[in-house]
Structures are given as structure tokens and as C-alpha cells.
Structure 1
Amino acid sequence: MTGNRLRNLLVAAAVLTTAMLTTSCAPPPPAPRLVTPAGAVERTDGLVIDGERIADRAAYESAQAEGRLTLYSGYSALPEDAVTAAFTEDTGIPVDLVRLSSNRLYERISAEKPAGRLGADVVRISDPGFVDGLSRQGVFRPYTPPTADHLRADVRFDGGRYYRTFNPIYTFGYNTLVVEPGTEPRSWHDLTDPRWAGSLGIAQAGAGGSALALTRFQRERLGDDFLRAYAANDTRIFDAVGAELDGIARGEVSVGTVVVSSVNIARAENAPVQFVIPADGLTTYDYYTGVAADAPHRAAAELFMNWTMSIRGQSVFSQIGEYPVRTDVPTPVVLGTPLPDPDSPLVFRASTTAAREYAADDLAFWNAQFGYNE
């Protein structure tokens, strides 16, 4: 540990201790709301949010009668909690969440489906290979949300069995208490500088679509030598990007790969983390959502899809810090920073075909460079 880093940690600990002593008798202030409430929700004749019809009377009453739904999700815990809370506030329908990393979720569904034990009403997962595999297993059923309008290209898949519903942004970030102001890395290649050796993190590439999307971006845009140098910089490997963000916030590593929405939510909870829009670009990756073929709460599942594809649902994703898939919903502004337009040259998104084509080779290359065997 460098002297500067040790000094920063000691200062941070002293500040924290003082704050705890001076506020020990007062409750902590509530975290600010990232998602603004809907302007107007009408439930007398179906469900209408801010003038947009989400469901007609029969569909909404059926969902209300079912009373709840179960969501199987590979989405990161912090943003998924924010999304499902907004859905429940808008619709009155609670969500029972089963959350695992996308690779673990794929394994669980692949075991439950053939045994007739799949309890999901809705499935949300990243990685084109995973979602295609689940669709081939008959996990989804076709459904066309009436709100699926003004969509970008490449959103509806397999006859409407599943949809690309938003795109998280993957970049790198740092601990604001450990990294001194003015010394922050500004590009990916900055991270290969020896001064970050031993304080650099990354999530293992097999964690799901997010990590593989990052690997594809790094290999295609930055080159294989970049990944070799990153791996050689005494880099700590985390099992998932959520665990890595926790490690950055705790100061276990100073800098590492992060998802913008998770940083946004962590900052709202006073975590000392910040993201960077690198000069050499960033990547985005797909999250897919579909109604389960054997959904026990089918009407509630369809309502969830309607809300997800609506202006309101897509605005929730944008407020959290994800790219929406509707063209009539603004690009996110996160922590006062406008994110690049998704069509900007700065933003890399592998096509679903390329993501599937290169997945096995990218994973093998990443594992070889980092000496990782799960």
C-alpha cells in the first residue's frame, strides 16, 4: 500500500469516526429518490400512467386478482430493487424477486424447467447465448405488449418470446476517498499503469452477458495486449460486478470495472464511488425480459411486460442510468453527467450474432490471461 493511499484511508476513517460520534443520536438521512413518482396513475378503468394506457380494465383486474408475480432476474440487485419498487408503486402488484448472476440463473432455470418446477412468471437475463438457450428450452411464450412502441432496432426476438428491454453501461470507476482528486484514470489504458498495481479490480468474464460484453469491447476496441497488461497489473478478480463495486466502495481495490446504474444507486446511499466516461470508449450490453411459458401469474406477468416497455417503465430505467430501448425516452443523465448517445462512436454494443459467435473464444482468452479457473 502506498503512503498516499494509507494516508487517505486514515483520513477517511477519522472523518467517518467523527461523523459517527456527532450523529450517533440521530437517524441517518434517507437516501434521495433516484426514480421520481409517476405524475398521474389512474386505476378506475384499467391502468393509465401519465396518460399512457398500460392495461385495459379486464387485463388489469386479472392481474390484481392474481395479486403478485415472481421475477427471476440476473440484473444487479441495487437497480432491480429500484425497478421493482417503482413497478409496485405504480401498479399495486408486489414482486417476489429471485436474483442470481446470469450464469447461475441460467443453470437454475435449465434445471427447473425440464423438472416442471420453474416458478417464474417473468425471466430477466443478460447474454444473447443464455436467453437464446432458454428460449430453445421453451422457457418463454410469445407476447406482444400493447405499449411496445417507438422501439429501437433489434429489440423483439424469437417471435416476441423475449425483448431487449434496456442496456446497462459498463465502464470503470474508482473510490473517491482513496484516489486523490486530479489523479483519477481517464482512459482504459491508464489502468495498465504500474501505479494501479495491486489496487485494480475486474469481474470474471464468465459471470454473464455484462462481463463478456466488456471482454468483447476490450478485445475489439482496445486490443488483446491491453487485456494482457491489465491482467499483469496484479488485478483482483471478483465473482460478479456487484461484488466488485462493493470492494471498490470498501477500499479493497481503488479502481475497477463498474456498471453506471449501480454506481448511481450506491452514491445515493453515500458510497464513495464514481464512474468515468473514458476517452477510449465504453460498452453497453443487452438485458432481455420475457413472460414464462408456464407463468403461474400470467396476467400479472403480462402487466409487468406492458409496464416495462411503456414510456413510464423505460423512463425508470433511464433515471437509474440505463439506456432505454424506446426512441421517445431521453438518454440518461447520471450524477449530473449526460451519458453519450447510444449511437455515439464512444459506445460499443456487440450485435447479438457477434456476442454469440465470440463468447466461447473470449471467455477462454480471458481465463488464460487472468489465470482463472472457476
Structure 2
Amino acid sequence: MRKLLERTAALGLCLLSAVSAQAQTNWSELTDQAREEGSLVVYHSQLGAEHFIDFVKTFEEETGIKVELLDGRASETAERVRSESASGKGKGDLLITSDAVLMGLEAEELLQPHGDLPNLANLREGFVPTDNSIPVFVQSYGILVNTDQVAPEDYPKEWTDLLDPKWKGQIISNDPRAIGVGLASLGPLYETYGSDFLEGLAKQDITFSRNIRLEERRVAQGEFAINLAQVFSFAISEYEGLPVTLVVPGPSVPYTPMSAAVLRDADHVAAAKLFLNAYLSDQAQLLYANVGLIPVVEGVVEQADPEVRDFVGVDLMGWIGPENRGPAVAEMKRVFGE
């Protein structure tokens, strides 16, 4: 990853020449203010991901702004924001998490407008910011296949291929009966293919687990042929040399959109906005694309390493928002049991 960072240019903190003179002046003033603030506190749920740490280090080097990171589960960071706001002792400036979490915090008026960031103009079609949050990357889901057990010609080409009786007893999946990767993957499949698809999967005697990394290891060790709810980035970045491969059934894939927002009680608002703009630079987005996370900025897919380009250029199926979670979980429990 460090070699990738060395190959990239600056994070695009300066304006493009096409931006108006007034906008350049405003952005220059905000940049100066951000550097005067000198620090920034970011809450996130990326669990020590190297590509994120590399981005943060580069941001610090280019701006002189010290970034303090607080890493935790999405539910934990959201609750921290709520409790700090209620106590009047807010520490965080910026939150990076799933759209579902930010939608809840936005409804509770715990976010503030990000304003007109220059790099918002580069967002891909379909990625639309709200007044208080901006899309930053997408986590998508395929399947992990044990290559010692499954020949390439037998890889599932469509999601419905998983209903073939030959896979009975050969599939493990993160549990979709609770909020997590399993629901994020199977929820959109249910909405796309209906209850008949879930009932077909139920006949396959799927083993459910609530440990994502253990599910992957059990496939790598040959205990199962397929992991059904496989995060793209984990398979691409962490299993080189093992008898597994990421397979992306067609015609599209489930996903979880991730966004970022300035917190209502932020002390370092200008620094937070500068960070957000840098997050949408080509170079920052390329760090994400090259580990299998889908970029939200135009032209980055085409710049990604050849071995990941097809994965990050896939068509997206859908995602489970807060309003759909309850019905989806209920259907999973009905089909697969409590």
C-alpha cells in the first residue's frame, strides 16, 4: 500500500482552474482557517484499514493538521455522538459511517451542512450528497469460493445459481437475521428475487455464523465451498496465496453506501471540510478502489489496478436502508427460523 501512495500525487486540496475566482478565494480562506484550527477528530468504523490510515497520514503531511482517530463499530460511534451531544461535551468533528447510521443522526439534527466543497463536482452519477452528508465509498458483496473444491467452470455465474442442489451443505453465510453483513447481502437479494429465492436457499442447509472473518477462514480451510456474504475488499486484500477467490455473480451486487458528515457540535469545522474535500480527490479514492472498495468519484475506476478494475466497476443492485431493515429481518426469520 505504501508503494501505491508513493505513486500518487497530492490529494487535490487546491482548486481546479475551472473554479471561479470567488470560489477560489472562499476556499483559500477556508484552507487557511483549517490550518489555524490545526487539529481534527474523526470518528469512523474502518477498523484500522491500511488504506484509510495512509490517506490520513498524507492529509496530515500536506496540511499540517493533526488528525485524531476514534475507531469503533458503527452503532458505537453513533451512540457516542448522541451521548456527547446530550452532555454538551462533544469531542468529534467528523463521522464516517454507513448511510443508514447518518440518516438517523441527520433526523436527530446532530449533523451540520458541509457547504460547497470543490470536489463534490466530481461525484459519479447516482452518488448524491445531502445537505449534511457526502458519499465517500461503497462496500459491496460477492461470494468467496474455495478453488480446491470448485472448478472455474462451476463458479456461480448468477445469484440464482446458488440454488443448485449441488451446493447443499456447502455454503456458509453471515447471519441475515441480525443487522450486519449477512443482512446487507441477503436483504437486497430478497428484494430483487423475492421470497422464493430465500426459500430456495433455505433448502441448501446453509450454516449461519456471526463472525465474518471466521466464515472466510472456514472456506479457505475447505470446511465449506462458498461464503455467501463476502465483502469485496477483504477477499481482494487479505487472502493472497490461499485457495480462495472472489466471485461476483451477475447481473449486479448488493452493497452498503458509506458517507461522511460534519458533526453538529464540531470544534474544527474548517478542518473537517478540508478533510472531506481531500477524501473526494482522485488519489484518495484510488487508495480505496485498489483494495476493492467502490469509488464515488468519476474516472477512478478506470485508474484502478487491472486486477481489481472489474470488481470496482460492477453494477450495484441495492441496499437495505433503515426503513427496510425490520421487514427484511422478519422475512429472514420466517424463512430460516429464529
Length-normalised TM-score, structure 2: 0.78
Partner of 2:337: 371
Residue in structure 2 matching 1:348, options 307, 317, 323: 317
- 1:172, distance to aligned residue in structure 2 (A): 1.2
- Superposition pairs of residues 83-122 of structure 1, within 5 angstroms: 83-92=52-61, 93=65, 95-122=67-94
Query: Partners in 1 of 2:30 and 2:217 — Cα distance?
Result: 41
- Does the residue aligned with 2:121 lie in a helix, a strand or coil? coil
Do the aligned partners of 1:38 and 1:49 also contact (CA within 8 Å) in 2?
no
Superposition map of 1:154-233 within 5 A: 154-157=127-130, 160-177=131-148, 179=150, 182-205=153-176, 206-208=178-180, 211-233=182-204
Deviations 1:137-194 (A, max 9, x none): 232111132221132344211xx21112222221111234554555433332333344
Structure 1: unaligned runs, 5 residues or longer: 1-31
- What does 1:196-275 align with in structure 2 at a 5 Å threshold? 196-205=167-176, 206-208=178-180, 211-239=182-210, 241-242=212-213, 244-251=215-222, 253-256=224-227, 257-267=229-239, 270-275=241-246
CA pair 65-217 structure 1, distance change in 2 beyond 3 A: same
Deviations 1:328-371 (A, max 9, x none): 333555635523745x5xx3135xxx834422211211233233
Q: CA deviation at 1:288?
A: 1.3
- CA distance in 2 between counterparts of 1:191 and 1:327 reads 33
Q: Distance in 2 between matches of 1:178 and 1:136?
A: 48
Counterpart residue type for residue 288 of structure 2:
F
Q: 1:178 to 1:127 in 2, by over 3 A?
A: farther
Is the aligned partner of 1:329 residue 2:295? no
User: Partners of 2:77 and 2:121 in 1: how far apart?
Assistant: 29
Sort the Cα spacing of 1:86 and 1:175 in 2 relative to 1 into closer, same or farther, 3 A: farther
8 Å Cα contact 1:173/1:273 also seen in 2: yes
Deviation at 1:131, TM superposition (A): 1.7
How many residue pairs get aligned? The number is: 325
Q: 1:4-47, CA deviations, whole angstroms, 9 ceiling, x for partnerless residues?
A: xxxxxxxxxxxxxxxxxxxxxxxxxxxx65844354339xxx95
Q: Classify the secondary structure of the residue corresponding to 1:168.
A: strand
Between the two structures, name the one with larger relative contact order (CA 8 Å, sep ≥ 6). 2
> What residue is the counterpart of 1:19 in the other structure?
none
RMSD: 3.6
| 1:123 paired residue among 88, 95, 111 | 95
User: In the alignment, is the contact (CA less than 8 A) between 1:122 and 1:295 conserved in 2?
Assistant: yes
The 1:361–1:303 alpha-carbon spacing in structure 2 relative to 1, beyond 3 Å, is same
Distance 2:18 2:60 in 1: 13
Aligned to 1:37: 6
Identical counterparts, % of pairs = 24
Give 5+ residue unaligned stretches, structure 2.
none
Q: Distance in 2 between matches of 1:155 and 1:355?
A: 15
Deviates more, 1:300-309 or 1:363-372: 363-372
Residues 117 and 281 of structure 1: is their aligned pair in 2 closer, same or farther, counting only changes over 3 Å?
Answer: same
Whole-Å separation in 2 of the counterparts to 1:283 and 1:246: 22
- Following TM superposition, by how much is the alpha carbon of 1:304 offset from its aligned partner in structure 2, in angstroms? 1.6
- Matched-pair contact (CA < 8 Å) for 1:47–1:57: no
